[in-house]
Amino acid sequence: MSLSIIIPAYNETNQIDHTVKKLNTLKRKINNYEIIFIDDFSEDNTYQKLKKFEKNHNRIRVFKNKKKGLGQAVELGIIKSKKENVCLFMCDLSDDVNDIIRYYKCIKNNPELDAVFGTRFSKNSNVTNYPFLKLIINRVANNFIRVLFLSNYNDFTNAFKMYKKKTILKLFPIVSENFNIFLELPLKIITRKYKYKIISINWIGRKFGKSKFQIKEIGSMYIFTMLYCFLEKVLLKKK
């Protein structure tokens, strides 16, 4: 078993050192893994710092995005990955690195699984410093999607998930250009009836830099993705 951790990065010069240091602890628990950073047209020295880390860490690989956008960055990371499983992880360390290990053990011990989905909203989860307004919108949106797709999952929009690479490639082409890619991928897993498992995960608000997620700008993209995947579900049901 092996793992590629894909991390999009945009203007994260103040965060990179902390992220690399934390991810370096994975070597105690996972033998065969790589970390792929995709620089998404950063306007600071994020790319330069990443290239320095690449020279000193044989597990780190760095690429420049070819077309600006988070969706394209994730897609490029998937294509460049060389391992059996891929984990999408945000550069801000809002998700717990220890949960990467839990994901990995889960998919390793259950070879029939195509994906492992984490939820921040279970009785065993710890969520810290989540902005109140964002939390309300998140819960309303995720529960609406849950009902619409008749799913028992309740955290679709969280980026942090793990997939078998051979499965995630079957979800191409990816139509989402921004954060909505993190909704598109799990919805396609569910509507196409791939096997997945849900586990509780932890989350903490970022300590360095500024969040790139803007609700006003991205809301319509999520609606587009939701409708696109719902149409796919309806069409698949008719076959």
- Domain of 32, CATH number, reads 3.90.550.10
What mean pLDDT comes out for the span 224-236?
91
Q: What is the mean pLDDT of residues 25-29?
A: 93
Domain total in the chain: 1
The mean of the pLDDT values for the chain is 93
Q: Which two tokens stand for residue 136?
A: 């309300």
- Tell me if residue 139 falls in helix, strand or coil: helix
Q: Average pLDDT for residues 211-239, to the nearest whole number? A: 79
pLDDT, average across residues 113-136: 94
Question: Rounded to two decimals, what is the model's pTM?
Answer: 0.93
What is the span of the domain harbouring residue 222? Answer: 3-238
Q: Residue 211: pLDDT band by 50, 70, 90 thresholds?
A: low
